[in-house]
Amino acid sequence: MSDPGELLRGHLGFWGAVCRSISHEMNNVTAILIELAGLMQDRLAAAGGQAVDGQKTAATLGRMGTQLERARRLMGLLNRFGHSVDDFDTSIEVSEAVEQALALCRRFADLKKCELESEVAAAGRYIISGSPFVLLHILFRALRAGLEQAPAGTQLLLRATAAEQGCRFEVTGATPTGDEVRLLEQLVVASGGRLLDQPGSFWLPARLRFPGA
């Protein structure tokens, strides 16, 4: 039976983990931009009003542009995640949710030196109704459970397939372990879904319940 208190803590923990991860990346971008801006200032000061090296300046500006694009992508990811709580009963395209979950979990995989892939062709543009936040949370927990004990170099695959008036999800490449598994199980069952025999696989209905509500 699902524990409402643990589910609530899980929801809040998910929100906090994502915000910490993205803000950490944003802080890295800011630090690099500050360093590059300082380098440009040093070059201008050293030139004493004379022309600066065009190639070095262009290279530095190129690096700054790369970091600004990285910042734009991160802000877009955070903004989209924030909008996942706008509506708790809406249409969710499975393929988009899978890709967003991978993006939210990418840094955790990078820290473990693992790779994340997805396979959603079988699900096509299948639609699930319910809370985008809940679906993202479930997929995030499934990926984190797979990463828990995964050795460096592991490639995890998140696969989605339309099945039985709902959708089957599975994470392959590593056996899910740790506390993430227990919370994942509670989330799936509380959302109206069920666990399947294969480790890391579960089924969710076409209309999700809101866990803990």
Q: What is the pLDDT of residues 57-105, one digit of tens each?
A: 889 999 999 999 999 999 999 999 999 999 999 999 999 999 999 999 9
172: which strand partners?
A: 157
Quote the pLDDT of residue 65: 95
The model's pTM: 0.88
Strands of 115-119's sheet, edge to edge? 115-119, 155-163, 166-172, 201-205, 194-195
One-character DSSP codes across the chain: ---HHHHHHHHHHHHHHHHHHHHHHHHHHHHHHHHHHHHHHHHHHHHTTSPP-HHHHHHHHHHHHHHHHHHHHHHHHHHHHHGGGS-SSEEEEHHHHHHHHHHHHHHHHHHTT-EEEEE-TTTTT-EEEE-HHHHHHHHHHHHHHHHTTPPTT-EEEEEEEEETTEEEEEEESS---SHHHHHHHHHHHHTT-EE-SSTTEEEEESB---TT-
Domain range summary for the chain, segments of one domain joined by +: 4-84, 87-205
CATH topology of domain 87-205: Heat Shock Protein 90 (3.30.565)
110, 102 Cβ separation under 8 angstroms: no
Quote the pLDDT of residue 106: 94
Which residues, 6+ apart, have CB-to-CB distance to 173 below 8 Å?
146, 150, 154, 155, 156, 157
200, 172 Cβ separation under 8 angstroms: yes
Quote the pLDDT of residue 27: 95
Instruction: State the Cα–Cα distance between residues 3 and 8, nearest whole angstrom.
Output: 9
Return the ∠ at Cα 146 (arms to 141 and 148), rounded to 5°.
90
- Give the largest CA-CA distance in the chain: 74
Quote the pLDDT of residue 212: 52
Quote the pLDDT of residue 121: 64
Q: What is the pLDDT of residues 117-173, one digit of tens each?
A: 999 865 456 889 999 999 999 999 999 999 988 999 999 999 999 887 899 999 999
Q: What is the pLDDT of residues 5-48, one digit of tens each?
A: 888 888 899 999 999 999 999 999 999 999 999 998 888 888 77
Return the ∠ at Cα 18 (arms to 206 and 4), rounded to 5°.
55
Residue in this structure with the two tokens 């734009």, named with its chain if needed: 72
Quote the pLDDT of residue 188: 94
Quote the pLDDT of residue 77: 95
Quote the pLDDT of residue 2: 62
Quote the pLDDT of residue 85: 93
Quote the pLDDT of residue 169: 94
